[in-house]
């Protein structure tokens, strides 16, 4: 276990920024801390870096309790959202700043500098000041400063948020491959779910200072822990609609086609990913309210009993608004959530579940 | 169109008038210093140009000594101000400690106290320290400059916090962060403040007059006043030459640095 966070809390006066967070990171793993702005993810990273003291809890890095150690003794390097390049120093001085502080011998500095410059394609820019470089180049310098330290753990605070979309994609792949090649253990903070899904070995999703789900990207997508996760991950997000009573159980509209025999419709929410819905000859009727053409796909917005449901279809679909279509799906792709707690309901056999929880059976029968 | 042209012309004329009015004494001093005493009060373009006045002034009073004293006094004051104000501003800008706001407001209060009001108290202090009639005594009352602390604190506060944090991650201590990040990033402010401080102390008169009483400690301003005082008989040409000698280094420095000087103060004002 490379990094272990146990019940870490951080209060700013009466504001609780991080409230009891625990997780661990394996050696060589890339862990993404994901969450909307203000969820405490950056604060958590700063606590791990040692830039701020924890209110309570412990942080272990490589088996050592570093909770009360200064940043330099934690064996970490960090890339800041603003890059934090020293504007008065040139690229070379920026990259080797830390090595000089730690009095690394000159020939060793040169050796490491050469390696990092080759790795990041910075040759020829060593004498430029950060202000003369493009955003992407500045990002590389910031990466270089983190890599040259040769620390086993690197912390990244939204490093790509200041780049344009195209550059972000290529830098994302580059950071990933660097992390793999150098075997760095990395904690990467972002609010961008695409970055999280594509880069992470594991994702920790935070909300209001707490962990909502700590899982692999696959599980985040396929088995979201609650409706917040389901709506946060995926573009467009998962369709989540309340169920309605019908003859013998629950349906998507009152008195509609029976989907879950014997289920109490008020207790559950029905969730399905847009790409798992198909337009078919028969099935759940829905009225088309709009469509978005993206080239490879078309997102068709439909309405079922006042609830919007988005269907992702391949290629171009010329469906007029107001048309009534029919939707089908595989039962295995359905996610059910508790209507009250919003948590995932895992025993997906509704009849048996209902049988246990509501022995009276169907309602309004 | 025509009216705005008229006003801008009027502005130009007014600026020139004011400028000339302002420069008159200096222009007169230049005229008087470079011509024989007979021409000091009559303007004649054919008057012979001479350096004799400078020669005479230099040999009548110990100007060389005065120069050394002034240079010692101003560099010592400015250097000590840099050190003290930098450390104080760093603490105010980057650290949290109990009573910080109170202490800072007390320092701001100091901005409103004229140094001349403290003449007697300062004299007592220097006398208690047995420093009367020494060069450090001229400097000491000025080294804890409220203006310097305030100016540097404002500037340090504008340095992004992430820079100091990045340096901390790399293992830099507080002093190194100050010297490698905050100070280099405030170069223009140091230059502006240094110029203001040097010019102010170069021209400082009252306190040096009170605290010094021998030629070995007297700065230029005091020396010049004694040199030009009526007891010695007034020779305008020689006094002008002495004055020009006194202000020349400062004038040259400002001609060299005026762009940085004006720029950095404008920038400090806009921020």
CATH of the domain at B186: 1.10.3720.10
Q: Is B181 on the interface with A (CB under 8 A)?
A: yes
CA–CA distances in Å: residue A165 to residues A144, A156, A192: 22, 18, 12
pLDDT band at B232 (very low <50, low <70, confident <90, very high): low
What tens digit of pLDDT does each residue of B173-228 get? 999 999 999 999 998 889 888 888 888 999 999 999 999 999 899 999 999 888 87
CATH of the domain at A186: 3.40.50.300
Q: Report the candidate in B133, B235, B145 with the shortest Cα–Cα distance to residue B198.
A: B145
With 70 as the cut, is the pLDDT of residue A351 above it? Answer: no
User: The tokens of A73 are what?
Assistant: 């003794």
Q: Among A232, A264, A279, where does a domain finish?
A: A232
- Averaged confidence pLDDT in chain A: 90
Q: Do A86 and B160 touch (CB under 8 A)?
A: no
Shared domain for A270 and A214, answered yes or no, is no
Instruction: Measure in Å the smallest separation between the Cα of A129 and chain B Cα atoms.
Output: 13
Residue A349 lies in a domain: yes
Shared domain for A276 and A211, answered yes or no, is no
pLDDT at A365: 28
Shared domain for A15 and A136, answered yes or no, is yes
Q: Do B169 and A70 touch (CB under 8 A)?
A: no
Structural domain count of chain B: 1
Shared domain for A246 and A211, answered yes or no, is no
Determine the Cα–Cα distance for residues A139 and A80; give it in Å rounded to an integer.
9
Mutate which of B158, B168, B170, B185 to disrupt the A interface (most A C-beta within 10 Å)? B170
Residue B2 lies in a domain: no
Task: Give the H or E element holding residue A154.
Answer: strand A153-157
pTM over 0.95: no
Q: Do A77 and B162 touch (CB under 8 A)?
A: no
Residue B184: list chain A partners with CB under 8 A: 88
Q: Is B96 on the interface with A (CB under 8 A)?
A: no
Residue B44 lies in a domain: no
Shared domain for A86 and A179, answered yes or no, is yes
Instruction: Measure in Å the smallest separation between the Cα of A149 and chain B Cα atoms.
Output: 8
pLDDT at A362: 34
Q: Is A69 on the interface with B (CB under 8 A)?
A: no
Tokens 């901390």 sit on residue: B168
Residue B203 lies in a domain: yes
Shared domain for A318 and A289, answered yes or no, is yes
Residues 122-161 of B with CB under 8 A from A: 160
Q: Among A192, A212, A232, where does a domain finish?
A: A232
Residue B240 lies in a domain: yes
Residue A365 lies in a domain: no
Q: Give the lowest-confidence range in A117-131, B67-81, B243-257.
A: B243-257
Residue B12 lies in a domain: no
Residue B34 lies in a domain: no
With 70 as the cut, is the pLDDT of residue B123 above it? Answer: yes
Q: Report the candidate in B248, B237, B220, B232 with the shortest Cα–Cα distance to residue B53.
A: B237
Residue A149: list chain B partners with CB under 8 A: 170
Shared domain for A44 and A113, answered yes or no, is yes
pLDDT at B80: 96
Q: Is A87 on the interface with B (CB under 8 A)?
A: yes
Structural domain count of chain A: 2
Determine the Cα–Cα distance for residues B241 and A243; give it in Å rounded to an integer.
100
Reply yes or no: is the peptide bond before residue B137 cis, omega within 30 of 0: no
What tens digit of pLDDT does each residue of A160-219 get? 988 888 889 999 999 999 999 999 999 999 999 999 999 999 999 999 999 999 999 999
Cβ–Cβ < 8 Å for A54, A22: no
Shared domain for A174 and A262, answered yes or no, is no
Q: Do B169 and A76 touch (CB under 8 A)?
A: yes
Q: Please name the member of B163, B169, B187 whose beta carbon is closest to the beta carbon of A86.
A: B163
ipTM for this prediction: 0.83
Residue A56 lies in a domain: yes
Shared domain for A264 and A348, answered yes or no, is yes
Shared domain for A224 and A243, answered yes or no, is no
Q: Among A186, A202, A232, where does a domain finish?
A: A232
Shared domain for A125 and A243, answered yes or no, is no
Helix axis angle, B100-111 to B146-157, nearest 10°? 130
Residue A123 lies in a domain: yes
Residue A221 lies in a domain: yes
User: The tokens of A74 are what?
Assistant: 């934690």
Residue A68 lies in a domain: yes
Strand order in the sheet with A297-304: A278-280, A324-328, A284-293, A297-304, A307-314
Residue B229 lies in a domain: yes
Q: Do B184 and A88 touch (CB under 8 A)?
A: yes
pLDDT band at B97 (very low <50, low <70, confident <90, very high): very high
Shared domain for A225 and A285, answered yes or no, is no
Which residues constitute the domain of residue A259? 239-357
Instruction: Measure in Å the smallest separation between the Cα of A332 and chain B Cα atoms.
Output: 48
With 70 as the cut, is the pLDDT of residue A8 above it? Answer: yes
Q: Is A97 on the interface with B (CB under 8 A)?
A: yes
Q: Is B170 on the interface with A (CB under 8 A)?
A: yes
Q: Please name the member of A49, A101, A149 whose beta carbon is closest to the beta carbon of B176.
A: A101
Residue A362 lies in a domain: no
Q: Is B171 on the interface with A (CB under 8 A)?
A: yes
CATH of the domain at A263: 2.40.50.140
Determine the Cα–Cα distance for residues A135 and A140; give it in Å rounded to an integer.
9
Instruction: Measure in Å the smallest separation between the Cα of B172 and chain A Cα atoms.
Output: 6
Residue A100 lies in a domain: yes
With 70 as the cut, is the pLDDT of residue A81 above it? Answer: yes
Determine the Cα–Cα distance for residues A45 and B162; give it in Å rounded to an integer.
14
Residue B146 lies in a domain: yes
Which residues constitute the domain of residue B74? 51-270
């Amino acid at each position: 276990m490379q990094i272990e966070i146990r019940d870490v809390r951080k209060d700013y006066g009466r504001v609780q920024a991080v409230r009891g967070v625990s997780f661990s990171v394996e050696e060589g793993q890339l862990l993404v801390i994901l969450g909307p702005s203000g969820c405490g993810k950056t604060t958590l990273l700063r606590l791990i870096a040692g830039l701020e003291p924890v209110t309570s809890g412990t942080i272990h890095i490589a088996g050592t309790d570093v909770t009360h150690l200064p940043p330099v003794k934690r064996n970490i390097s960090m890339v800041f959202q603003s890059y934090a390049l020293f504007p008065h120093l040139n690229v070379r001085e920026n990259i080797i700043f830390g090595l000089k502080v730690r009095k690394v011998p000159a020939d060793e500095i040169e050796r490491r500098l050469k390696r990092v410059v080759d790795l990041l394609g910075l040759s020829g820019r060593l004498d430029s000041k950060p202000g003369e470089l493009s955003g992407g180049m500045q990002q590389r310098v910031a990466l270089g400063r983190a890599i040259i330290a040769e620390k086993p753990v690197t912390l990244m605070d939204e490093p790509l948020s200041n780049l344009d979309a195209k550059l972000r994609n290529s830098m994302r792949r580059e950071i990933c491959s660097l992390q793999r090649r150098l075997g760095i253990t990395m904690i990467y903070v972002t609010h961008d779910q695409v970055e999280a899904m594509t880069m992470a070995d594991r994702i920790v999703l935070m909300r209001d200072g707490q962990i909502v789900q700590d899982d692999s990207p696959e599980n985040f997508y396929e088995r979201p822990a609650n409706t917040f996760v389901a709506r946060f991950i995926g573009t467009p997000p998962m369709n989540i609609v309340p169920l309605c009573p019908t003859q013998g159980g629950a349906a998507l509209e009152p008195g509609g086609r029976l989907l879950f025999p014997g289920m109490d419709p008020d207790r559950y929410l029905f969730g399905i990913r847009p790409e798992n819905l198909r337009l078919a000859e028969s099935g759940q009727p829905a009225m088309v309210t709009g469509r978005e053409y993206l080239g490879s796909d078309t997102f068709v917005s439909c309405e079922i009993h006042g609830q919007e449901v988005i269907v992702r279809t391949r290629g171009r679909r010329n469906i007029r608004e107001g048309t009534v279509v029919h939707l089908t799906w595989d039962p295995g792709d359905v996610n059910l959530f508790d209507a009250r707690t919003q948590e995932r309901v895992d025993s997906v056999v509704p009849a048996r579940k209902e049988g246990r929880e509501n022995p009276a059976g169907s309602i309004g029968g | 169109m025509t009216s705005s042209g008229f006003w801008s012309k009027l502005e130009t004329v007014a600026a020139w008038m004011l400028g000339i009015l302002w420069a008159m004494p200096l222009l007169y001093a230049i005229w008087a210093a470079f011509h024989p005493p007979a021409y000091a009060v009559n303007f004649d373009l054919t008057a012979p140009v001479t350096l004799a006045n400078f020669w005479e002034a230099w040999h009548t009073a110990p100007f060389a000594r005065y120069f050394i004293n002034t240079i010692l006094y101003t560099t010592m004051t400015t250097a000590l101000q840099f050190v003290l104000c930098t450390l104080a501003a760093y603490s105010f800008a980057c650290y949290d400690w109990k009573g910080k706001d109170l202490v800072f407001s007390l320092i701001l209060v100091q901005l409103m106290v004229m140094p001349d009001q403290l003449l007697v108290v300062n004299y007592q202090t220097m006398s208690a320290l047995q420093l009367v009639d020494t060069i450090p005594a001229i400097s000491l009352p000025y080294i804890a400059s409220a203006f310097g602390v305030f100016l540097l604190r404002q500037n340090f506060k504008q340095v992004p916090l992430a820079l100091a944090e990045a340096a901390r991650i790399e293992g830099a201590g507080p002093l190194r962060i100050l010297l490698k990040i905050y100070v280099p990033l405030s170069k223009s402010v140091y230059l502006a403040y240094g110029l203001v401080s040097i010019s102010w102390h170069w021209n400082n008169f009252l306190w040096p007059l009170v605290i010094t009483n021998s030629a070995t400690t007297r700065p230029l301003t005091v020396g010049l006043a004694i040199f030009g005082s009526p007891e010695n008989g007034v020779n305008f040409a020689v006094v002008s030459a002495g004055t020009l000698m006194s202000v020349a280094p400062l004038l040259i420095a400002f001609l060299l640095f005026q762009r940085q000087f004006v720029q950095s103060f404008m920038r400090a004002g806009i921020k």
